[in-house]
Amino acid sequence: MEIDAVGAYCADLDQSFLIPIEIVDGRWAIQLRLAPPRNGQRAALHFAEKYRLGAVAQLAERYRGTVEAGGSNPPSSTLVVTPDVPSAEEVGAHKFRNHFGYYMERANAGTEILIRRRGKPYARLGPAALK
């Protein structure tokens, strides 16, 4: 038998996660973090957002009893993502300065960072566009 991933459901969040086998192989337990730790730790963390399972075609039953692929069930259970609005991780200028290396790594991985100063947008950090 071969396993490619492990699925997990959190009833408190009402969300599902798909974790690659490389992450869970040889472990007794794994914890998915919802927020960064307050102590600034960056190594060996698994953030839930990275493994969130999006909309999956679910099987819905027809009136005559046969099964068909019905998309999300109910149809409103999928998140609506507006492609025009880029999502950015927001951080205060003080925290950005204190954790500069961490945010540089995040930006290099493709996350856009919006830096706020006194609550107002101040600067934006993103991955370098290589051409």
83: number of CA atoms within 13 Å, CB side? 0
**CA-angle at 52, arms to 9 and 30, nearest 5°:** 60
Which residues, 6+ apart, have CB-to-CB distance to 30 below 8 Å?
19, 23, 24, 46
pLDDT tens over the chain, length 131 residues: 678 888 888 888 888 888 888 888 888 888 888 888 888 887 778 888 888 887 555 544 455 555 555 555 555 455 554 444 456 788 888 888 888 888 888 888 888 899 988 888 889 988 887 54
pTM for the whole structure = 0.41
Residues facing residue 67 across a β-bridge: 61
CATH 3.40.1620.10 fits 82-131, yes or no: yes
